[in-house]
Amino acid sequence: MGFCSFYGFVAVIICLICVLYLRNRAPRKDEKLKKLKGKVVLITGASSGLGKACCFEFRKYVCKVVLCSRNLEELKRVQKQLEDTYPLPPEEEGNASLVHKLDVADIDTVAENIRNVAALCGNRIDILVNNAGIGNKESALSSIVEVFKQVLQVNLLGSIATTKAVLPHMVSQGSGHIVGIGSIQSKVAIPFRSAYSASKHGAHGFYDSLRPEVHQYNIKVTTVNPGYINTNISKNALKADGTKYRRTENEYLTGMTPEFVAESVVNSVVKGWSENTVAPILYKYVPALGFLFPGVLLYFLQRRAAQHKQGTRKVD
User: What pLDDT score was predicted for residue 173?
Assistant: 97
Owning domain of residue 304: 290-315
The 10s digit of each residue's pLDDT in 270-305 is: 999 999 999 998 888 888 888 899 898 898 889 988
Q: What is the percent of the chain with per-residue pLDDT over 90, rounded to a whole number?
A: 74
**Do 149 and 89 have their domain in common?**
yes
Query: The CATH number of the domain where 271 resides is what?
Result: 3.40.50.720
**Do 206 and 173 have their domain in common?**
yes
Q: What is the mean pLDDT of residues 16-36?
A: 70
**Do 187 and 300 have their domain in common?**
no
**Do 254 and 299 have their domain in common?**
no
Q: What is the mean pLDDT of residues 188-206?
A: 95
The 10s digit of each residue's pLDDT in 208-228 is: 999 999 999 999 999 999 999
42: left (phi over 0), alpha (psi -120 to 50) or beta: beta
The 10s digit of each residue's pLDDT in 75-90 is: 999 999 999 999 998 8
Sort 102 into a burial class: Cβ within 10 Å, 0-12 / 13-18 / 19+.
Answer: buried
> Would residue 69 count as lying in a domain?
yes
Total domain count, the chain = 2
Mean pLDDT of the chain: 90
Q: Is the model's pLDDT at 38 over the cut of 50?
A: yes
User: What pLDDT score was predicted for residue 270?
Assistant: 97
> Would residue 13 count as lying in a domain?
no
User: What pLDDT score was predicted for residue 16?
Assistant: 45
Q: Is the model's pLDDT at 14 over the cut of 60?
A: no
Q: What is the pTM of this model?
A: 0.88
Q: What are phi and psi of 264, to 5 degrees?
A: -65, -35
**Do 93 and 217 have their domain in common?**
yes
Q: Just list the catalytic residues.
A: 196
The lowest-confidence range among 10-14, 15-19, 126-130, 289-293 is 15-19
The 10s digit of each residue's pLDDT in 45-102 is: 999 999 999 999 999 999 999 999 999 999 999 999 999 999 998 888 889 999 999 9
**Do 70 and 216 have their domain in common?**
yes
